[in-house]
Structure 1
Amino acid sequence: MATLLVHADQVVPVSSLIRELWDENPPVSCLTTLQTYILNLRKLLASATGMDTSEVAAEMLVTRSGGYLFRINRGDLDVHRFHQLVADGRRALSSGDDETALSTLSSALQLWRGPALVDVVVGSILEGRRQQFEESRLVVLEYLVDTQLRLGMYREVLTELAALTADNPYHEGLHIQYMRALYLNGRRAQALEVFQRLRVNLVNHLGLDPGPLAQQLHRSILNAEAIDAQGGLRRPTGDIVRMSSSGAARVY
């Protein structure tokens, strides 16, 4: 069901479903077993919706040439609502409307209730989509924190950034935001500690030094220079690009 839903309104080939379920070692009976799974899923959907199984087969979980299609209405899936709110938030950011962006991006992130597909045993197809969802969430979190910093919400972002940097030890953007927020809160020593922790992680595990932006902010903090609360905070520009359910990039 998860594989069908992340490709909603598109035909998912039987070969893709078999690969997701059994990887490269499908049983001899895989086609018959898959058909049984589809039948059981239709029965489950019929019980949940009050429709007949035949109605579900005709209107919801539809057989197509070479595969199956899960038909949904616009707004039925939380991931679609998330993408729409993110698009609205990015437009607000591009136009300089931080208050609207803060509200809209916060609403988008409130749709998340834990990691994507957390209760699904994923195969190769769903794992790729799971990583895509998680990366999208991180990008939105970065935009939200930038917005909060522009609005002077230095204290409000600290708890979130402490958790995010711990969960993403090589993510320079999040560490830069954390350093900036700590320094603007008068916590210079802790801001320097965040840089050192980032540097140790990058050098020891990837053989890399922090990039120019992180190093520049580190020098400013080390020299106790004034930091512009607005400086270095990004606004999205240009078209909004996101991945379609087929995995292809689309421009909006």
Structure 2
Amino acid sequence: MNIEVLGPLTVHIRGKVVLPTAPKPRKLLAMLALRADRMVPIPVLIDELWGENPPRSARTTMQTYVLQLRELIGEALELGGGDRAAAKDVLVTLPGGYRLETGGGSVDFREFDRRVVAGYRAFDAEDFHAAARLLRSALSLWTAPALADVQSGPYIRMEINRLEEARLCALDRRMEVDLRLGRHREVLSELTLLVNQHRTHESLHRQFMLALHRCGRRGEALSAYQRLRATLVEELGLEPSPQLQRLQRAILTSRGTQAPARGMVKRPVAPARHG
């Protein structure tokens, strides 16, 4: 079984897509996929499917959804020369919950974590080309927002937020690496989009300012700082960080395009891994 959640939910078994069309069975499959190879307790599933006021028939209805998923799994196994009875070995009933068995297949968000961690290790070893390659490879696993086609309840929403934050951290760190490699022109358009999407993200704005300055666009770099400062003060009541203030002063007093860049690209810290 191969599971993809970094975009629309996709589950493949022996090349056959297993994906219910109804919203609640699809949400159930998403819950199990997010905890692949681990048990998901029944109360957690009920809370995700129906919220704080589930119907009295919640357990019975969920069992119906499980049977529907097993039917799809069984069809995929039959196409692959398997046995429908083996569907119970893929979507396993346990005391108190259910578990989706991958059988050693791939799970894209775990592979994303693996590549990101490898990218940070390469950066720590000052192998910046390898770090850039690994981080780009990790980010290439994303095809759209996480679980873009699944209606989210509290648990899935929390997982989506976690995954999207991990993606943003990887993007931030990849920009750091690219600036180390002098790729300021290549990343400028991407940073332009990112700072508009994340209007209070100081690290991305710092990188944007550096890229603009290195491209000889000092006035725009200073304007980017002023926009960020206005947003931080208005929305959060905060001034920019001391690091950003130092960068602004360095750009103001510099004569060339490279002077403030030295020492202004901080060493990224790898985020904690998620299982």
Same fold? TM cut 0.5? yes
State the 1:222 CA deviation: 1.9
Residues 116, 135 of structure 2: 8 Å contact kept = yes
Q: Does 1:206 align with 2:205?
A: no
Tell me the amino acid that sits aligned with residue 232 of structure 1.
M
Query: For residues 85-100 of structure 1, what are the structure 2 equivalents within 5 Å?
Result: 85-100=115-130
Q: Which residue of 1 aligns with 2:73?
A: 45
State the 1:74 CA deviation: 4.1
Tell me the amino acid that sits aligned with residue 122 of structure 1.
S
Q: Which residue of 2 aligns with 1:55?
A: 86
The structure-2 alpha-carbon separation of the partners of 1:49 and 1:164, relative to structure 1 and needing over 3 Å to count, comes to farther
Q: Which residue of 1 aligns with 2:11?
A: none
Q: Which residue of 1 aligns with 2:102?
A: 72
State the 1:88 CA deviation: 1.1
Q: Does 1:30 align with 2:58?
A: yes
Residues 146, 163 of structure 2: 8 Å contact kept = yes
Q: Does 1:137 align with 2:167?
A: yes
Taking structure 1 as the reference length, the TM-score comes to 0.91
Query: For residues 1-252 of structure 1, what are the structure 2 equivalents within 5 Å?
Result: 1-50=29-78, 51-58=82-89, 60-74=90-104, 76-224=106-254, 227-236=259-268, 241-244=272-275
- Percent of matched pairs sharing the same residue: 43
State the 1:193 CA deviation: 1.3
Residues 149, 230 of structure 1: 8 Å contact kept = no
Question: For residues 232 and 129 of structure 1, what CA distance do their matches in structure 2 show?
Answer: 33
Question: For residues 124 and 10 of structure 1, what CA distance do their matches in structure 2 show?
Answer: 19
Tell me the amino acid that sits aligned with residue 53 of structure 1.
R
State the 1:75 CA deviation: 5.2
State the 1:223 CA deviation: 2.1
State the 1:242 CA deviation: 1.2
Residues 63, 69 of structure 1: 8 Å contact kept = yes
| DSSP 3-state at the match of 2:98 | strand
| DSSP 3-state at the match of 1:33 | helix
Residues 172, 203 of structure 2: 8 Å contact kept = yes
Residues 172, 210 of structure 1: 8 Å contact kept = yes
Question: For residues 114 and 262 of structure 2, what CA distance do their matches in structure 1 show?
Answer: 27
Residues 70, 91 of structure 2: 8 Å contact kept = yes
Task: Describe the superposition over 1:151-182 as per-residue Cα deviations: whole angstroms up to 9, x where unpaired.
Answer: 11010011111111111111101000000110
Taking structure 2 as the reference length, the TM-score comes to 0.84
The structure-2 alpha-carbon separation of the partners of 1:196 and 1:128, relative to structure 1 and needing over 3 Å to count, comes to same
Tell me the amino acid that sits aligned with residue 180 of structure 2.
R
RMSD: 1.6
State the 1:228 CA deviation: 4.8
Q: Which residue of 1 aligns with 2:23?
A: none
